[in-house]
Amino acid sequence: MALFNKPKQNQLPAGGKLRILSLGGVAVNKNMYIYETDRDIIIVDCGIAFPEEDMPGVDLIIPDIGYLKDKKNKIRGIVLTHGHEDHRGGLPYILPELPGVPVYGTKLTVGLSKVKCDEAGVNTDWYQVNYEETVKLGDFSIRFVHVTHSIPDSANLIIETPAGIIYHGSDFKFDWTPVDGLPTEVQKIAEAGQRGILCLLTDCLRVEKAGYTLSEQMIEQTFEQQIQKCRGKFFITTQSSNISRIQQAVNVAQRHNRMIVFAGRSIEQNVEVAIRLGYLSLPRDRVVRIEEVGRFPPEKVLILATGSQGQDNSALARIANGEHKIRINEGDFVIFSQDPIPGSETAVNDLINTLIKTGAEVYYSAILDDLHVSGHEAADGLKLMLALTKPKYVWPIGGTIRHIKHYVRLAESMGYTRERILTPDEGQIVELGNGRVNLDGRAETRNVLIDGLGIGDVGNVVLRDRRTMSADGVVMVVIPVEKATGEIVGEIDIVSRGFVYMKESDELIGEAKEVVRAALADHKGPVSDFRFFRRHIGDHLEKFLFEQTHRRPLILPVIVEI
């Protein structure tokens, strides 16, 4: 069987209603949109979000697909808009829950996604789509529109439905001089607008910025200026799927006769796919393995490393902390060519501080302009998209509440009444049909947390306990109890971790033991419910420790039956 299949061709019906809801993507990450008719469903994107700082131990967050559990037989396919993790990174976790559902996307998007799924042992049918063809999936007919973004082969979608034409305008900008030489297909967008668009779902992440977003070409000029000053190793960190940025770094390395090193599994993997599919031009004799870096003078090496969001296990973080084969020395330059995503600011700042301590020269957006150019369009570009598509309704997506609020004002400035601007919450179902729009209920949504090999088994209670332990520590109380009488028959033992230093807290620990004894003193008779015992002890001990220390450790009473 061929690696990639040709899209199926079905007959598109006319008339009817359409339901659209977001299972992720209203607040930037975890993008997943559901398009549903009475007969069919398509899913647009399947992304991940990265954990907030108050989610200790959590690796990733994926959308909650509970709404789809009893509708699997209606799902005709997952359609991907581009290759960033927040739009396709959830596939290895979601596809096993949706067996037999095929995935559609452009060449690079499918290539990056398939490699990730293959690594996880997840199989499905992959359909590679070009920009000239039409994909027909049940009640839906889909055309891909090439748009410029911070990764090549990005697409918006023109989706014909029984209710009318929907333009799904996730992440885009109007870059007239893109790195790959392929600008946005403005003519195709305008033609769809001439046909009549019922609803535009549009990126709004940079609506607060005036004008147009700058071209990616500016980044290479900044790399050029900085590398001329560098007499040591030249490090660049960016999003591992930002192939355009990686190409610019490669270009600069070649001009300055530097060898190129890729540090980090995700960047190595994505680069390999991009080279194989023709999206990255890189002479193989310029690439050296991490183990070979020491063979070359520092001024002859450029290193592209993962870690732009300060991830603890990233290559750059391990390099900065001396836990990697590559070392940082005085005279080395480190360039952060990516702004922190919401929630990762502290981690990025900590990594920058660690790098500075090594003696490296560290550059980031706060001190040097033009190190990062957004892949999202600013206010004037968003107005251009609205003018080209001329939709009856407009729905801002991909931003936070403040971005959506700003977009409402932008749309109103272009003559849209408030009734024509849709701002549903995540999980809220929007029904379109017969020229009208209604809110038609809500799907239950929650964050599904990925913790190691566990999917969804870490919930709010576990997170709360982890936060407590990380902030105030844990106290374990071991109580020997005779089950028949409920009496304490031995010495109570209290162990502290991350709360107080035991050797210097004898008095506090002794008083805590007496609190436990007093809490159980009025209990007579056999123990029938150890849960009550543990809760009763925990309540009294928590109150005492807070009065004495103004801290609330996690308290774990352990009842030992004698």
Q: 186-195 vs 379-389: helix axis angle to the nearest 10?
A: 50
According to the per-residue pLDDT averaged within each range, which of 295-304, 336-345, 462-471 is highest? Answer: 295-304
Tens of pLDDT, residues 54-65: 555 566 788 899
Residues 6+ apart with CB under 8 A from 524: 486
Lowest mean pLDDT among 26-35, 387-396, 526-535: 526-535
**Catalytic entry in 153, 175, 203, 472:** 203
Kindly indicate the confidence band of residue 546, based on its pLDDT and cuts at 50, 70 and 90. confident
Sequence letter at residue 442: R
Give yes or no for residue 140 having a pLDDT over 80.
Answer: yes
Tokens encoding 531 = 């849960």
Tokens encoding 497 = 């971790």
401-410 — which CB contacts under 8 Å span 24+ positions? Answer: 401/27, 402/208, 403/204, 403/205, 403/207, 403/208, 404/204, 406/204, 406/207, 406/208, 407/202, 407/204, 407/207, 407/382, 410/207, 410/379, 410/382, 410/383, 410/386
* CA neighbor of 513 nearest in space, from 496, 530, 531: 496
Which helix H or strand E contains 432, and what residues bound it? strand 428-433
Taking the C-alpha atoms of residue 25 and residue 539, their distance in angstroms, rounded to an integer, is 40
Average pLDDT, the chain: 87
Lowest mean pLDDT among 43-52, 160-169, 498-507: 498-507
Provide the β-strand partners of residue 334. Answer: 235, 362
Taking the C-alpha atoms of residue 79 and residue 85, their distance in angstroms, rounded to an integer, is 14
- pLDDT for 471: 58
Tens of pLDDT, residues 6-25: 555 444 344 689 999 999 87
Tokens encoding 521 = 């003193």
Are the C-beta atoms of residues 139 and 37 closer than 8 Å to each other? yes
Taking the C-alpha atoms of residue 407 and residue 504, their distance in angstroms, rounded to an integer, is 58
Give yes or no for residue 105 having a pLDDT over 50.
Answer: yes
Taking the C-alpha atoms of residue 110 and residue 108, their distance in angstroms, rounded to an integer, is 5
According to the per-residue pLDDT averaged within each range, which of 185-199, 490-504, 531-545 is highest? Answer: 185-199
With a pLDDT cut of 70, the percent of the chain lying above it is 86
Lowest mean pLDDT among 151-155, 231-235, 441-445: 441-445
Whose tokens are 């035991």? That residue is 502
Taking the C-alpha atoms of residue 252 and residue 267, their distance in angstroms, rounded to an integer, is 18
| 547 vs 485, higher pLDDT | 547
Give yes or no for residue 181 having a pLDDT over 50.
Answer: yes
Residues 6+ apart with CB under 8 A from 323: none
**Catalytic entry in 87, 168, 372, 376:** 376
* CA neighbor of 10 nearest in space, from 142, 102, 119, 105: 142
Taking the C-alpha atoms of residue 19 and residue 12, their distance in angstroms, rounded to an integer, is 17
What domains sit in the chain, N to C, each tagged with a CATH number?
Answer: 18-211+374-444 (3.60.15.10), 217-363 (3.40.50.10710), 460-561 (3.10.20.580)
Give yes or no for residue 394 having a pLDDT over 90.
Answer: yes
Tokens encoding 151 = 């990764």
Q: 466-501 burial string, b = 16+ CB within 10 Å, else e?
A: bebbeebbbbebebbbeeeeebbeeebebebeebbe
Are the C-beta atoms of residues 407 and 204 closer than 8 Å to each other? yes
Residue 302 Cα distances to 231, 336, 383, 461, angstroms:
11, 14, 40, 45
- pLDDT for 61: 84
Tokens encoding 425 = 């919450």
Lowest mean pLDDT among 296-305, 333-342, 484-493, 509-518: 484-493
Tens of pLDDT, residues 219-268: 999 999 999 999 999 999 999 999 999 999 999 999 999 999 999 999 99
Taking the C-alpha atoms of residue 417 and residue 533, their distance in angstroms, rounded to an integer, is 61
Kindly indicate the confidence band of residue 50, based on its pLDDT and cuts at 50, 70 and 90. confident
- pLDDT for 10: 40
Q: 265-276 vs 107-119: helix axis angle to the nearest 10?
A: 140
Tens of pLDDT, residues 59-100: 678 889 999 999 999 999 999 999 999 999 999 999 999 999
What is the maximal distance between C-alpha atoms in the chain? 85
| 394 vs 16, higher pLDDT | 394
* CA neighbor of 448 nearest in space, from 20, 71, 90: 90
Sequence letter at residue 159: I
Tokens encoding 371 = 């190190």
Is residue 203 flagged as an active site residue?
yes
Give yes or no for residue 31 having a pLDDT over 60.
Answer: yes
| 4 vs 346, higher pLDDT | 346
- pLDDT for 357: 92
Residues 6+ apart with CB under 8 A from 60: 48, 49, 50, 51, 89, 93, 449, 450
Residue 294 Cα distances to 237, 258, 269, 330, 362, angstroms:
20, 13, 23, 16, 21
